[in-house]
Amino acid sequence: PITSYKNITSNPFATYTGYFNHYGLNPYVALDNWRRDGKVDNVLSNLDLSFKATNDLSFTWRIAANIRNRNEQSTSKGQVAVNAPNTNTPIPASVGNASQRYYRLSSEVFGRWDKKFNDFRVGVLAGTYVRDEQTTNSSVGATNLVVPELYTISNGVGGVTGSNSLSKRRMVSVFGSANFNYKGWANVEFTARNDWASVFDESNRSFFYPGVNASLVLSDAIPGLKTPTFSFFKVSASVTKTANADIGAYNTASTFSGTGAGFPYNIPGYTANNSALNPLLKPEFINSKEVGLQLGFLRDRILIEASAYHQDNTNQIINVQVSNATGYTGALVNAASFVNKGVELDLKLNPLVNLGNVAVNFKVNGTYNNSEIKSIYEGLDRLAIGGFATASNYAIVGNPAFVFLANDYTRDSLGRVIVSSSTGLPTANTNLKQYGRTAPLWIVGLTPSVSYKNLTLSVVGEYRGGHYAYSGIGSAMAWTGVSAATAQNNRERFVFPNSSYLDGSGKYVANTNVTINDANNFYTGVYRTVTSNFLHSADSWRIREVSLGYEFPSSVFKGQNVIKGLNVTVNARNLFLWVPESNQFTDPDFNFTTGNTTGISTSQINPPTRMIGFNITATF
């Protein structure tokens, strides 16, 4: 077992130079050599101030702050490698210090006027919102430390590296709404908002988006419709427009980056970035239409909610390839559009069972979401979103956002894998093949809970399905011979399943007896280069969370006026996960990067972990 290599000093086969695996390190050596220690301070604060000028008019001021400071040090002890049996090269001792400071401050001021006129009620709201964000990063490092395990920058003789960055963003908004209600069962509301975002050029900084929504509580509007059995009936509809300004602070002007090494003669130098940024970028817009239905039965012990939506996403900001002759490799443009549509269903049984001190509640929610790319860019019908050369997310016109493109084995007209008639080995097809979607088509949530007096046990289960994931760790496992696939056929020669070869007459015939000449070379060779081998169903069932909480009775706090309530909860997350047999690798929700790229993981991602913690909530 791997634990036998824990003694990295006295076990010659556990040392950095003596470990048996030429392609990987003893994990205990890595644990001892590389360390990262740091501290993150988060400060979250909110302040709400309200003033009621009259019975009909009130004002509210909300201030919020999110401040985060992160400081960390990364170190490497260094490893000497002289005549290493596994040919490992030396690792220099090094130290690096990094710090980040982020703050987000927001202020919202609004006034609300609410007045009743006989059967009518009118509400008007108007306000303004300001958000300020700033991120500062700095780092410094040194290599080839002279004094062992003295992790100071001055101890390095291999040169000092460093970098720093500063990013600022600001958004100012004004908003308003007008609400009209008749007898409590008929309601219509008009909304409007205008934002000014600093991330855009002055000519495009201002953008306006309105909306309207209406609802009817038919169980109140129609006499006799409401009964003890049929207790609630509501229909609703909305048409809204929203905007998205979520781009970097400097995406509308071309920027320069340091060259790293002095250019030349240790003089600072800079080079233009590869993406041609667009000063005329505009916000992305989403036009949404939604209809909804709510039903209640048995005095609302059974509640059913259903909604259907259709979203037109336009002006999507994408990076397209441009000719290298321009001096750039890509350009940021407003171009793509896609449609997003779906259905959401909720069922609440509150309570499902009620036996005095014992109550059982149950909630089920389901979402069906589909999308279609309508356009990308003039003359472009597909666009790589992110991933690897032979396994990537793509936007393709007429397909969901997004799909996988990956390479496969070379196949004949009947779909059989073509192998060599002499070696039995297949070949990888250099053309990419389209596979399934990257985002789940279905999401189902199950939330049962059981209460006994002040004690509550709740569980959150979830199903996701209808999509695919790529696990790059499969290729690494094949290379080192630790995957399940490499143990098939007892590591002996075998006939490749569903294969064919070209016979002397120039026809492809079924292969029944030509075996792969070397199974070891097959798995470390062509097998690991065919990325469809590691593309699998991303379906999963999981227990996302289990919590057990206790609410202290109010009688405990009698005789004092400081604490009004106390709740203690123990919770556990990611307890259990079930996946299809095709997924022999990792959690399909894992992703190797942020942004729009989804469903792609690598061997550099940590395995799934269970987390157990507790919360204490006090009310004063």
pLDDT digits (tens, 9 = 90+) for 279-336: 889 999 999 999 999 999 999 999 999 999 999 999 999 888 888 888 888 888 999 9
Structure confidence at residue 263 (pLDDT) = 62
- Contacts of residue 550, defined as CB under 8 A and 6 or more positions apart, other chains included, come to 454, 455, 456, 567, 568, 569
Q: How many domains does the chain have?
A: 2
Q: Is residue 494 part of a domain?
A: no
Give the number of other CB atoms < 10 A from CB of residue 95. 20
List the beta bridge partners of residue 208: 194
The separation between CA 125 and the C-alpha centre of its own chain, rounded to angstroms, equals: 35
Q: Is residue 390 part of a domain?
A: yes
Q: Is residue 578 part of a domain?
A: yes
Residue 266 binned pLDDT confidence (cut-offs 50, 70, 90):
low
Q: pTM for this one?
A: 0.86
Structure confidence at residue 257 (pLDDT) = 78
Query: Is 556 strand, coil or helix?
Result: helix
Structure confidence at residue 561 (pLDDT) = 82
pLDDT digits (tens, 9 = 90+) for 1-22: 789 999 999 998 999 988 887 7
Q: Are 462 and 542 in contact (CB under 8 A)?
A: yes
Structure confidence at residue 264 (pLDDT) = 66
Q: Domain end: 182, 214, 245, which one? A: 182
Q: Is residue 36 part of a domain?
A: yes
Structure confidence at residue 324 (pLDDT) = 85
Q: Domain end: 138, 157, 182, which one? A: 182
Assess whether pLDDT exceeds 80 at residue 268. no
506: left (phi over 0), alpha (psi -120 to 50) or beta: left
Helix (H) or strand (E) holding 519, with range, is helix 519-524
Measure Cα distances from 463 to 128, 345, 443, 446, 548 in Å.
40, 14, 6, 9, 22
Q: Is residue 444 part of a domain?
A: yes
Q: Domain end: 118, 151, 182, which one? A: 182
DSSP code for 478: H
pLDDT digits (tens, 9 = 90+) for 116-145: 999 999 999 999 999 999 999 999 999 999
pLDDT digits (tens, 9 = 90+) for 89-101: 899 999 999 999 9
Query: Span 468-492, mean pLDDT?
Result: 92
Residue 246 binned pLDDT confidence (cut-offs 50, 70, 90):
confident
Q: Is residue 357 part of a domain?
A: no
Q: Is residue 599 part of a domain?
A: yes
Assess whether pLDDT exceeds 70 at residue 262. no
Assess whether pLDDT exceeds 80 at residue 84. no
Dihedral of the alpha carbons of 25, 31, 36, 41, in degrees to the nearest 10: 130
Range of the structural domain that residue 162 is part of: 29-182
Q: Is residue 55 part of a domain?
A: yes
Q: Are 213 and 189 in contact (CB under 8 A)?
A: yes
Mean of all residue pLDDT scores within the chain: 93
